Structures are given as C-alpha cells and as structure tokens.
Amino acid sequence: MGALNQIDSSFIEKWSTENQVFIDVRSPIEFQQGHLPNSFNAPILDDAERALVGLTYKQKGNEEAVRLGYEIVSGANRQKKLETWKAILQKNPEAILTCFRGGQRSQITQKWLQEEGFERPLIKGGYKAVRQSVIDQIENVSQQWPFLLISGPTGAGKTPFLSEVIKFWPVVNLEGYAEHRGSAFGGLGTVQPSQAVFENRLGWDLFKAEKTLTLNANQEFFLPLIMEDESRLIGKCVIPDPFFFKLRESPIVWLDISIEKRVENTFDEYILKANVNEALFARYKKALSNIQKRLGGLQYQEILSIFESCESSWKSRGELEENKVWIKRLLLHYYDPLYFGSFEKRRPVVLFKGSVEETLDFLKGQKSKYKETAVSKKANPT
C-alpha cells in the first residue's frame, strides 16, 4: 500500500453543503455516542471485539492487540465486513472513510478496499478532528452572527411556521436535531440522539447556512439566523452554552395566535398526527404526572380525570375531539404561566407581533432590508 489517501477536516463546509456520506468503521457504541451526519456505521470491530482488543492492548501491548485484531477480522468475518463496505460504496461511491483519529481502523479498511478496487480517502484526524471543527463553528456563529427568534405561546404553531420561513430564509431546527418537540409532552416515543450527535447536526447546518447567510465575500455582514425560541433543554439535549446565551439575548418576532387556534394546533400535532394507541396515552399520562407539582394537586386531578375520560372514549368509540378539553386546560394553567413568566424575566426586544401571514410578510420585508443595508455598508464603508 502506498501513501495514505487522506482528506483534511477543513473540507467540512463543502461536506455539509454537498451532503457528503461517510463510512464510520468505529464500533456501534462509539458511533452511538457521537457521529457525523450522513454516516453509515459499518464497524471493523463490533463492541465485544473492540473491548477484547482493548484489553489485550492494556495487558500485552500494541503488537499483540494488532495481531489479535487481524486474527478476529479474518476469513469469513473479513469478507463479511468487505461486502458491507462495498455495498455502501456501490450506492454512495463518493463516501469517505473515518474512525476516531484516522488511525489503524480506517487505514486497514482503506487498504482492504483498495485491494478490491475501491479507492476512497479517509479523514485525516478522523471523527475527532471534525468534531472539534463543529464545536468551533458553533462558538464562532454564537459570537459573530445575529439571531432572530420565532416566539409565541405554546400551540402557536412555531414549528410549522418555520417550515414556511425556510422556503425563503435558512433556519436552524433545534427540535429537529434533538428529535423532541421541547415540551413536557414533546417526546416522540423514540430514543433521542446523544448530546454529541445533537451538536454535530447543529454545527453541520451552521456550516451549510454560512454561504446562504453571508452577504459579502469578506463575511462581514450576515443575515440573522432564524430559529424557534427554545429553553436550554430540548428533552435531554442541551443547547451548547455559547449558542444558548446568544439565543437568550436575541430579538424576537411574536406569533399572536388565539387560544382557540392554539388548541386546534396542539390537537392536530399531538393527537391527529400522532399514532394514537395505548402507548401514546400512557406516555402523555406519564408526562402529566411529571408536571403535577407545577400544576398543583387540584388542577392536576381535574386534568387527569378529563384525560382518563378521553382515553376511555377513544377505546370505546374512537372519539378524539374530547381531548381538546384537557389540552386547553394545560395551555391555560400550565404552559401559559410558565411561558409568560419566563418572558417577563427576559424582557426580549420584540421586533414584530402579528398573525402567521403578517409575520411571514414582515420577515420577507426584513430580508430585503438586511440585504440593502449590507450592500450600502459595503459600498460606503465607515
């Protein structure tokens, strides 16, 4: 094997904008703890095999550990790994190889694939190098870019609103990265990603947004980065400190939505669009139990009674509309006091307040103004 075919992690901006695919040959547990977007996990050693090689390294040194590794991944096992990598490359011929530091695992994978006629580069410095670039990008954006937040009470439809905004202005979808809707009832019934994966998704999109939001080649003027106004925690995922602090000091536009429409939005999102079954009711019942202290004993018991009646109605005759009753009670007696209390403490700058249509029109106008201002400043530097 000749010189290693390596590619530097500085290509991360290109990778993010081109949806680059990666073959990550680390063990499944390492991959779960943190990986790059668009990665396939095709390990050269599984968790048990890696643990055995690691133990050998500690007890007998590197030479014996390497020998054992080759022994484990040989014969039929080696061929099985090769077929897996080749199958990925046949569908993704531009895929790039990576392990943790760009060391033996990705180098061996590269060599074996080369012997099969597949020439693919590996990342110099591996996942660790790219991960550091992601962390740096999050901090850089937090320091240099303006943010603009979409705010409003629970049920205002902020997430669907962002899906309209993204048609003309790049947005950061924090709840999407976290796979959680951010509220006590916001779990999707699936396991959330690790903290590192959440941050990698955020950083990846920040690299992707940079070209779109930069208003001149010198990167002096940026369009504000638009996102939903979030709490620090989105389920179990934590917004990184620099990013969250910037979020908290940023101006907002406020979706002014009636309580009736908010109930409809919440019912649509959490009931009609959900897979209504016993597990869903059990999950919501647990979420209700988790907030009973904030609700107070009497309010909790009353809402629980309504909730259980709704569950019975669904089981007996498939009725769902009655769920709007407990949804409205929760909005008025739990979410609104929580949201407006936090809002009063923060006292953010409110740039605009209006309906969905009015706020969309406002943002479209703002985008034009930002661009005009940037062009003016560039033409007449002070």
Do the Cβ atoms of 22 and 41 come closer than 8 Å? no
Domain made up of 145-257+349-382: CATH architecture: 3-Layer(aba) Sandwich (3.40)
Tokens of 326: 């407990």
Length of the chain, in residues:
382
**What pLDDT was estimated at residue 219?**
58
Q: Which has the closest alpha carbon to 186: 225, 154, 210?
A: 154
Task: Specify the pairing of strand 350-354 against strand 6-7.
Answer: unpaired
Residue of 44, 99, 156, 303 marked catalytic: 99
Which residue type, as a one-letter code, is found at position 231?
S
pLDDT by residue, tens only, the chain of 382 residues: 446 799 998 899 899 999 999 999 999 999 999 999 999 999 999 999 999 998 998 999 888 988 988 899 889 999 999 999 999 999 999 999 999 999 889 999 999 999 999 999 999 999 999 999 999 999 999 998 999 999 999 999 999 999 999 998 889 999 999 999 888 888 888 899 999 999 999 999 999 888 777 765 555 667 899 999 999 999 999 999 999 999 999 999 999 999 999 999 999 999 998 889 999 999 999 999 999 998 999 999 999 999 999 999 999 999 999 999 999 999 999 999 988 888 888 889 999 999 999 999 999 998 888 776 655 544 444 4
Q: What are phi and psi of 126, to 5 degrees?
A: 65, -160
What is the distance of C-alpha 194 from the center of its chain?
A: 10
What pLDDT is attached to residue 341?
86
CB 355 within 8 A of CB 257: yes
DSSP 223-277: PPEEEE---SEETTEE--HHHHHHHHTS-EEEE---HHHHHHHHHIIIIITS--S
Residues 6+ apart with CB under 8 A from 39: 21, 22, 23, 24, 31, 98
Kind of pairing between the strands at 39-41 and 122-123: unpaired
CATH 3.40.250.10 boundaries in the chain: 6-132
Q: For residue 278, what pLDDT is reported? A: 93
pLDDT of the residue at 188: 84
Domain(s) labelled CATH 3.40.50 in the chain stretch across: 145-257+349-382
Annotation says 99 is catalytic: yes
CATH superfamily of this structure's domain 6-132: Rhodanese-like domain (3.40.250.10)
Q: Are strands 233-234 and 237-238 parallel, antiparallel or unpaired?
A: antiparallel
List CB contacts of 329: < 8 A, sequence separation 6 or more.
299, 302, 303, 306
